[in-house]
Amino acid sequence: MNFSKNYVNQFVWYALGLLLDTKIVTRGCLITLFLFISLKSFASSTANTNTSGTVDFTPAIYLWLALSILMSRGLSIVKKIGLPVVTSEILAGIVLGHLYLFGITTFIGMNHNEIIQFLSEIGAMILMFEIGLETQIKDISNKLVSGMKIALFGTVLTFSGGYYLSAFFYPDMTTDSRILLGVITAATATGISAKVFKDLKILGSREVKLVLTASLIDEVLSILCFAIVSGVLIAGNIEIETLITITAKITMFFLLSITLGTRLTPLLTKLSVKIHAGISMKIGLLFFICTLYTWLASILGVAPVIGAFIAGLVIDPEHFKNFSQAKFLRELKLIANHTSDENTKVQILKTVHAQETRSLDELIKPLSNIFVPIFFTYIGLIFKLSDLTKPRVVLFAISLLIISLIGRIISGYSEKEKLNKLLVGLGMTPIGEAGLIFAVTGHQLGIINNDIMSAIVLAVVLITIITPILIKISLKSGRLS
């Protein structure tokens, strides 16, 4: 038995080593296939009974983590057909969660494993931290009025749609669950739309600038709404006194966090630079601020991911400019200074400058690349294919898709300026990563049951597939301004 466990662990690490080499998709798919075939032979060795008579899932957890990262990367081939990588990560979770259909029972019950849930929460925390880092208030100012109008209009329509649809399909659902469904439906995916616009090379158009502004405002609004809703859910009742208390607490948390954060962060960076000015200290400080705010949010009764978002929001890249350059950049500068060819010197210095001005969110990409796929794979793990045989689940998912499309398109047409209004509306359509985080939080709190969770995941997958196609069609039917 011990030999089998060691064999599994060594094999997994060997597979990961190969995956991190070149030709990631091809090797990833081949290794995944080989692992899938091999799983059947040693599945029984990955869960052992200890002396107390309980099942030890630790070996299975190692294997699940390895496969979730491996398969999410292997399935990232979906990018070739214009789909976001998040789709591949959810698909990886769905596959791993249904291996029992092929007689492989290794991962049964893994969606209830506390270690997996904790790691997925780390992924959600890092993702919200990234969203906060990318949300710059100054980027909203140029088209603030138009963006606010579209965001508010779209949020009200989609929130109302999600609330009343859930009441129609699930009459026995509680009011707080319906409100949470409304918030989830209202959350926009800035990243998905931005990626599509970037691929189409239309980021400079007025329509896209308006979409991105409205999306940022919408994202902040949905996070504020979720902060209030989650606070009420954690408190356990929805009385008016509780609602006022929670709202006041969250407002104070936002204001104090942003006010103090903008003042304390420069002091922290100065102190850190005196201790050690290297890149490791810079990354460590970023992660420290993120986890500190997450902890503060949790002890104040606010969803931890809200703290991570605010942590990203209060950090200014200017505060980190005093950290020293990486060793290879200093060496490149020396090479440039001793190069006689002027063109080569210019190219080297351009490369150095590009590395020096890297955004802070790029510094935490290594962490993000590991933990965020675990979060989305966990979402896929929660999804049950058997729910597709339930007409109510499928109809609810399709209805969420339709209400998101209609609500956002109408909000796009609320803009009086001469624009491709259909494109503006469609750009606001995708239910975002934040919405999935809200859904998982609700599921873990017991507010959202398995059927509704499956419907949300199905709706998100359908929307991420359909939206890029509709955006391309809208470009053909209408010109950009």
Stretch among 64-68, 268-272, 372-376, 450-454 having the lowest mean pLDDT: 268-272
Q: Is the pLDDT of residue 352 over 80?
A: no
Going by their DSSP bridges, the two strands 48-49 and 55-56 should be labelled as antiparallel
Q: Please give the Cα distance from 478 to 481 (Å, whole number).
A: 9
pLDDT of residue 325: 61
Highest mean pLDDT among 185-194, 271-280, 338-347: 338-347
CATH 2.170.8.10 fits 119-477, yes or no: no
pLDDT of residue 356: 57
pTM value is 0.68
Q: Is the pLDDT of residue 248 over 60?
A: yes
pLDDT, tens only, 182-206: 988 888 766 566 666 766 777 667 7
Position 11 confidence tier, pLDDT thresholds 50, 70, 90: very low
pLDDT of residue 349: 78
Mean pLDDT computed over 154-162: 90
Highest mean pLDDT among 110-114, 161-165, 332-336, 355-359: 161-165
pLDDT of residue 239: 64
pLDDT, tens only, 429-481: 767 667 778 888 888 878 888 888 888 888 887 887 787 778 878 877 666 66
For the chain, the structural domain boundaries read 2-112, 119-477
